[in-house]
Structures are given as C-alpha cells and as structure tokens.
A and B are shown apart, each in its own frame.
Chain A
Amino acid sequence: MTQRLKHIVPNVVVGVWLAMGFLTVQPVSAEEKSKVAAPPESTLQSVSVSAPMVKGALPADDPNAAVWSSATMARFPMSPQVHWPTRILDATVKDLNVRALHDGTNVAILLEYADPTEDPDDAAAIEFMVGDKKAHFAHGQPMAQVEGGPVNIWYWKNKDNKGVDMNAKGFGTIKVQTHQDVKAKGTYANGTWKVVFTRPLATEHADEDTQIATGGFINIAFAVWDGKKDVSGELKEKGSQKAVTSWWNFRAEAPPDYSSYYYAAIAVGVALGFQFVLIRKLKKGHSA
C-alpha cells in the first residue's frame, strides 16, 4: 500500500504542476501585455481612433448615418492653446468625440463636439504628419535637436462649409495646397457640431498629403475654434487661439486576417505530434 502511494503521490504532483504551470504562465503574460496595451475607457479618454472597413458608400454628407455606429467612438479632452503666443487660457470646446470609417479607397472622419452657439466662424481641423519625419503638433514648428517634417492640416469653417487641404512647417507657414483632396461638411443641431472630413486613403502627393496605409498607426491631432463674437465684435477664438490636442493615434483597420487561426492550428498539430513521439519513445525505453 505505501509502495503504491509512493508512486501515486509524485504522479499527482507532476500532473498538477504541469497543468498549473501552463495555466499560470498564460494569464500572467496576458495580464502584463494588457497593462501596456489597454487604452483607457473610451468614455474617459482614448489614445487612438480606429476606422473599421465598411462595404458600400461612406457617409460623407451624413453625420447621422447609421453606419457610423459601426465605428468605436474615441474621446479626446481638449486644452486651450497655451503653447505659443497668442495664447488663450479658456476655450469653449472641452472634449471631442471622433469616429472614423474607410471603404478601402476613402476615409471618413467624424468630429463631434458641444458648442452652445452656431457661428459663421466656427471651425475645426485635423492634423497629420507627412512622410517619415516626426513633426511637432504645433504646426510642425522647428525642434532644437530633431529634424522635423511638415504637417498636413484638413480644415473646415462653417461659413464656407467645405474642406481645405493645407500644409505647415513652423508658425506662420500655413499654405493652402494647389491639389485639394479633402472634402468636409458640418451639421449643427441641438448645440452640437458634427463635421465629416473625407479624403482618399492615398493620394499622388506624398510630400504634401499624409498617406494612410491600412493596418498601420499614424499620428493625429485636432483643433476647434468657437467663432462666437464678444460684445466688442471680436472673435472669441481665432488663429492660434483655439482648443487643441497633442498627438494621438489613428489607424484604418486592415481587412480581416485569419492567418493567426491557421498558425494556431499548425501549432496544435505540432504539439500533438510531439506528445505522440515522446510517449512512444518513453514506452519503448520502458519495455527495452
């Protein structure tokens, strides 16, 4: 009896040890990954805008289209522009909600924010880096120790209600492009602006336009102007006086990729084969 027990106890221990070992390593490494990766709750603050791929036409003219709900809403707090004179210490818009979609050819980005009044000078803009060089979020201004690149700005103003495609590399260098690829349309209702920007994912002017390859992350930043006039008739926010964000991330999602499932199936096959060979070898060794 004790002889049997002597054999059984190590057996049990080995089995439990193996199973526990694998089971603990698994969640531990997953937990560590998620600590780095998981973005904060989208209701509070996002780190990234993700544009899923949709079939059919993009809702370029319709910020209320049902298809927008297939995109996860990202939320970015905004700051008054205090980085450079002329600064502003309080901006109207405090938070910006962003959704994006693409159809494999074009991308549509919907900005949504609260603004108590509709004014002709209300405006919004999206900013990207152009090319491989990093650009400072404040209009690609020069950096002391890093050679920066230009920024591409997509601009919309209520009274024109169209998109303007621009570039800048430093303060006071803003320039409207000769090729206008950006479309924009704003709709105001119930104290909320909804502005949709659309553009082809790729353009022929890679030195001026940001190029959006599906699957990859690029930098994105936002600005909003409240075009309300004060009692003296001056615009409350104009030029560098605006609500801004610094750089966050943007990605046009790649078409679904199932290769991970194939790799997993192959790995399961290899593991089964390994077990089969191991047990056969052990049995042979035992009987020999």
Chain B
Amino acid sequence: MGPLIKLIVLNVVVYAILKFVVPNIPGSAPLPASLVFLYMMLTTSGFVIFATVSAESKEAFWGPIQRFLTGENIGGLQALRYGILILFPLLVGWQTYSSTAVSDAPPSENRTIHPAPPGEYTGLSNPISKTPDAIQQGKGFYAAFCSPCHGGNFDGKGPASRGFNPPPANFSDPTTIAMLQESYLFWRIKKGGVGLPIEGMPWKSAMPRWEVELPDEWIWKIILGEYDGAHQAPRTWE
C-alpha cells in the first residue's frame, strides 16, 4: 500500500470514529464539523511529517503528487489536473467571498441559561417538609402564578409563553430543574429575570421578580409542586 493510500484510509477511519463512534460514547455529544476538520488536519499533518522523515519515504509520498502536477503523458489524469487547477482558485475565491460578505444574520448571542447564583442562595435547603399537602398547595400556586408561561404540563408551553425570547423553561426537560438544586430555583423565582447576572442577559427575561408578590413560604411550596409535577428530582451532592 502506497503512503498516499495509507493517508486516505487513516483519514477515513479517523472521520468514521469522530462522526459515528465518539457521539455514541455515554456522556458524549456530536462533534462540531469544525472540530472534526481540525482533527483530520492534525492527522494529515502528523502523517506528512512521518512520511517525509527519510529521503526515500519522502520520494514515495511526494513523487506521485509531483508527477500528477507536472508529469507528461499521464493520459486521462491531464484533464483531472486541469480541473483541480481551475477548481482550487475558485474555491479560494468563494471562501474569501463568504467570509467577507456582510451577514444578514443578527449577532449570535451566547446566553448562559443557568448562570451561577449569588453566594447567599447556594446550599439553602427547603424549609417546607415534602408532605402531600405541601406539594398539593405548591401545585395550586404553580397553576395560579407560573403555569401561564411554564405550562399546565410543566413543559414551558403555557398560553402566555409565545411572545417571549428566551422562552420559559421546560421543567420536564432533564436539563433544567433536574440539574439544579432547590436553592437555585428559590433564587430564580424570588429575584426573577432582572436578578440574573450579565451572562444571563437579564434585559431579555420576562420572569417576574416574585419576591415583591409572594412570601418565601409559597415559593418553597411552588418548588415542591414543580418537581413533583414535572416528575423530576432536585440535584443533590450526596
């Protein structure tokens, strides 16, 4: 097998691993195309360094490339050569155009959905015992104050949710309240959208500052009702 074919096989294998194996490892996620490209570039440069360490291996690697670009009497490859010589500048031109053209898209926003809470709200435990009564009361408060946006089904799709950006949180999604402690929810409900730090973009949030309308006890009960209704459990450190 010539070194070039080895390089291609190696790249195909690396691509297949990154695209189909890595995302299926538990706890992993699909890699962005730019990262896949970067890994393949690293694989290629590593291979090129390896393939050119001796004069002999260098000839085996570069020889075919050189013959393809400059050799005479290469038959049908001549057409391919011209094709590539035309295609390459056009691609460079297209790349330059697309990177300098004015974008029609508004600036992307990297909003942190669950920013760190202020120190005084970390590690508070719910002072209300998790009794069926308390949960029931909490669900009642939830229905009155929270469900217009967060939805009767705890899915963030309440009738008043449609105009808001960011959308109200979906509590049945395992990446929302299931990842958070009760003290975090207490902070978010009490201080509302305007209580967020800058990375949470408080100016966009429609979450009310419930401390001006609801006593703390009601907020803690709402938290019990929310977890129960959404079939989630708060995150604990044990």
B165 at the interface (CB under 8 A from A): yes
B32 at the interface (CB under 8 A from A): yes
> B70, B75, B195, B202: which contacts A286 (Cβ < 8 A)?
B70
Question: Could you tell me which residues of chain B, from 1 to 46, have a CB within 8 Å of some CB in chain A?
Answer: 2, 4-5, 8, 32-34, 36-37
CB distance from B2 to the nearest CB of A (A): 5
Task: State which of A81-89, A117-125, A152-160, A172-180 sits at the interface with chain B.
Answer: A81-89
CB distance from B212 to the nearest CB of A (A): 8
Residues of chain B lying within 8 A (CB to CB) of residue A14? 4, 64-65, 68
Nearest residue in B to A34 (C-beta to C-beta)? Answer: B105
B54 at the interface (CB under 8 A from A): no
> B4, B95, B149, B213: which contacts A26 (Cβ < 8 A)?
B95
Nearest residue in B to A10 (C-beta to C-beta)? Answer: B64
Residues of chain B lying within 8 A (CB to CB) of residue A90? 159
A206 at the interface (CB under 8 A from B): no
Nearest residue in B to A50 (C-beta to C-beta)? Answer: B104
CA of A36 to CA of B95 in the docked complex: distance in angstroms? 18
Do B202 and A143 have beta carbons less than 8 Å apart? yes
CB distance from B52 to the nearest CB of A (A): 15
Do B93 and A244 have beta carbons less than 8 Å apart? no
CB distance from A48 to the nearest CB of B (A): 5
Task: State which of B76-84, B126-134, B177-185, B228-236 sits at the interface with chain A.
Answer: B76-84
CA of A16 to CA of B83 in the docked complex: distance in angstroms? 10
Residues of chain A lying within 8 A (CB to CB) of residue B163? 76-79, 243-246
Do A143 and B2 have beta carbons less than 8 Å apart? no
Question: Could you tell me which residues of chain B, from 177 to 215, have a CB within 8 Å of some CB in chain A?
Answer: 191, 193-198, 201-208, 213
Nearest residue in A to B98 (C-beta to C-beta)? Answer: A30
Do A26 and B164 have beta carbons less than 8 Å apart? no
Do B194 and A136 have beta carbons less than 8 Å apart? yes
Residues of chain B lying within 8 A (CB to CB) of residue A144? 191, 194-196, 202
Given contacts A11-B77, A267-B96, contact A36 B105 (CB under 8 A): yes
Task: State which of A53-61, A105-113, A188-196, A254-262 sits at the interface with chain B.
Answer: A254-262
Residues of chain A lying within 8 A (CB to CB) of residue B64? 7, 10-11, 13-14
B55 at the interface (CB under 8 A from A): no
A32 at the interface (CB under 8 A from B): yes
Nearest residue in B to A276 (C-beta to C-beta)? Answer: B85
Nearest residue in B to A283 (C-beta to C-beta)? Answer: B70
B124 at the interface (CB under 8 A from A): no
Do A246 and B206 have beta carbons less than 8 Å apart? yes
Given contacts A50-B104, A82-B208, contact A77 B84 (CB under 8 A): no
B113 at the interface (CB under 8 A from A): no
Given contacts A37-B103, A267-B96, contact A286 B203 (CB under 8 A): no
Do B194 and A36 have beta carbons less than 8 Å apart? no
Given contacts A89-B160, A244-B163, A260-B101, contact A12 B197 (CB under 8 A): no
**Chain B 46-72: CB-based contact to A (< 8 A → 1; otherwise 0):** 000000000000000000111111110
Nearest residue in B to A270 (C-beta to C-beta)? Answer: B92
Nearest residue in A to B197 (C-beta to C-beta)? Answer: A145
A2 at the interface (CB under 8 A from B): no
Residues of chain B lying within 8 A (CB to CB) of residue A145? 195-198, 202
**Could you list 22 examples of A-B contacts with CB < 8 Å?**
A11-B64, A12-B77, A14-B4, A14-B64, A19-B80, A30-B98, A38-B105, A39-B106, A50-B104, A78-B163, A80-B148, A82-B208, A85-B213, A138-B206, A144-B195, A145-B196, A217-B106, A245-B163, A246-B204, A246-B206, A261-B97, A264-B96
